[in-house]
Amino acid sequence: MSSVTVDQIPGKGEDISHDHHDDHAHGMPHGWRRWLFATNHKDIGTMYLIFAFIMFLEGGILALLLRSELFIPGIQFFQPELFNQFTTMHGLIMIFGAIMPAFVGFANWMIPLQIGASDMAFARMNNFSFWLMPVAAILLTASFFVPGGATAAGWTLYAPLTMQMGPGMDLAIFAIHLMGAASIMGAINIIVTILNMRAPGMTLMKMPLFCWTWLITAYLLIAVMPVLAAAITMILTDRHFGTAFFNAAAGGDPVLYQHIFWFFGHPEVYIMILPAFGIISAIVPAFARKQLFGYSSMVYATASIAILSFIVWAHHMFTTGMPVTAQLYFMYATMLISIPTGVKVFNWVATMWKGSMTFETPMLFAVGFIFVFTLGGFTGLILSVAPIDIQVHDTYYVVAHFHYVLVAGSLFALFAGAYYWIPKWTGKMYDERLGKWHFWMTMISFNVTFFPMHFMGLAGMPRRYADYASQFTDFHQIATIGAFWFGLSQLIFMWAVLKAYAGKGEQAAAKPWEAAEGLEWTVPSPAPFHTFETPPVVR
Amino acid sequence: MTPEQRRKNKRTGLIFLVIVAVLFVWVVVRKIMDTPGAL
């Protein structure tokens, strides 16, 4: 990363962040009003993170219900209809309720601190977009209790399944509309904050990579969220207003839906991983005690991945019967993405090369991310090969692939970022012993859960099935044991975070990590309610 | 935040809001045109 040094800070010697004294001077709200009417980026960030963790637990419980059913062949606890509802809701909750809001929480907390801004550009819109999320979550969860239950169409909401669902489908559509609107508002807020509110001297190419990756992610959100909104609006009008966009029985085209969905769906994958790249790019240099190798190439690689993500969508649809020329195009275009991704992995490894590395919990998760996410990247490359994809389409191989990318990728980066910035958020160091236990339990149990799924997929185990042939029993049992182990391991994380928030632990210095860089480390820990009201000057 | 900064932010935000609205309408209109008998 380009070196960012705070050359001159107005009022230096007192406190650049106006410290706690001003918390009172500015009438920091107290009680429930502080949270309900929150306009402070740190409070909203905290609410997003808490909300995302609750949704992570809800989605996780659904996953454990699925794994319980799959422990032995035959139907044990849930009929296939309910099993499919769990599958669908697990996906929707984890993507729209857990991973995306968690990254928005990080963005709210860290972007203003990293660019030297006093808050987000639209503080009240920030509050509104957060409070849409719990409403959407309640709608999604409540859909289990309406006649016919929740939608069981899969997170992709393919037609004609969406035509066949009960009112739970309408609740899901409304919930996704709300979450989409929240994401769009969040994206506009982030873009305007970064473009208009950077501290003097903080040029774009001096910004921390987390801000860069979020800026590019926000552009992706602006481009694809309206497409998803349009697609689900058309599902709604097909269901209730007599249109026939996707309803084949009425002359519509279900494959058309798949095209529109994946035009959203593939960039969505990068929406969930680019901010993770930003977090890893902050942590690796801090614990390797070296500057990030190839800062500008990291920026260009992020932008390249984002651009390529728009032209590869139909690799999710190789089995729909597209012409060979189209298959070849989408295959080669998809393979191209491995180049900028490879640049990133190379740069992280080169940053570590000959560094004075230490392995505190954030670095453990970062290194774990690089190792395991890269495995997920490789299986993605294998899946991009059309003839192979046609063989393993809709099998557990695909399930293994995207969990390696989304759990070992996005989730590991979120854990890494949480441990890295918890001292700044709480003013206390987390318990390092708990952090290490959390990492190793998570890392091992993750692989126990998902590695056998590659073998099952290659052997032909289809995804989204409540029952299976007995030859898959051993692998399913290993995966189920791993899943429960993984779920229990997350209680260690909860414990470590609650301990820090409860004020138990060593007092954190303003910069608890020796070689960390960035403006966020120039304010005290915990970060005061108001920061950078007078912008710092960055040289 | 100065009033000038606020105005600048609103201007930039509005541009992106318009992009979102145009994209949404464009996708729906295109699909109406592409799917005979959709309405």
pLDDT recorded at residue A193: 97
Residues A304-328, buried b or exposed e (16+ Cβ, 10 A)? bbbebbeebbbbbbbeeebeeeebe
Query: A196, A239, A256: which to substitute to probe chain B, counting the most B Cβ within 10 Å?
Result: A196
**Among all chains, which residue has been given the structure tokens 């729209």?**
A96
| Closest CB from B13, B19, B27 relative to A192 | B13
Interface of B with A (CB under 8 A): 1, 5, 8-9, 12-13, 16-17, 19-21, 23-24, 27-28, 31, 34-39
pLDDT band at A248 (very low <50, low <70, confident <90, very high): confident
CB atoms within 10 A of CB A398: 19
Give the 3-state secondary structure of residue A535. Answer: coil
Which of A46-55, A248-257, A407-416, A468-477 bottoms out in mean pLDDT, i.e. has the lowest? Answer: A248-257
Q: Tell me what the mean pLDDT of segment A310-325 comes to.
A: 94
CB A117 within 8 A of CB A533: no
A480 to each of A67, A68, A450, how far by Cα in Å? 5, 7, 10
* Contacts (Cβ under 8 Å, ≥6 apart) of A478: A448, A452
Model confidence pLDDT, tens digit, residues B1-39: 888 889 999 999 999 999 999 999 999 998 888 877 777
pLDDT at A19 over 80: no
Query: A128, A192, A239, A262: which to substitute to probe chain B, counting the most B Cβ within 10 Å?
Result: A192
Measured in whole angstroms, the distance separating CA A508 from the mean position of its chain's CA atoms is: 27
What backbone torsions phi and psi does residue B25 show, to the nearest 5 degrees?
-65, -40
CB atoms within 10 A of CB A6: 18
User: Is A245 within 8 Å of B38 when comparing Cβ atoms?
Assistant: yes
Q: Which residues pair with A395 in a beta bridge?
A: A462
CB A146 within 8 A of CB A98: no
Model confidence pLDDT, tens digit, residues A445-472: 999 999 999 999 999 999 999 999 999 9
pLDDT at A24 over 60: no
CB A458 within 8 A of CB A397: yes
Q: Tell me what the mean pLDDT of segment A507-535 comes to.
A: 94
Model confidence pLDDT, tens digit, residues A257-297: 999 999 999 999 999 999 999 999 999 999 999 999 999 99
Q: Tell me what the mean pLDDT of segment A8-30 comes to.
A: 48
CB A485 within 8 A of CB A441: yes
Q: What is the DSSP string of A304-352?
A: HHHHHGGG-GGGGGGGG---HHHHHHHHHHHHHTHHHHHHHHHHHHHHH
| Closest CB from A226, A244, A251 relative to B23 | A226
Return the closest-CA partner of residue A177 out of A96, A111, A57.
A96
Amino acid at A267: P
Rounded to the nearest integer, the mean pLDDT of chain A is: 93
CB A259 within 8 A of CB A313: yes
Strands (E), A361-404: none
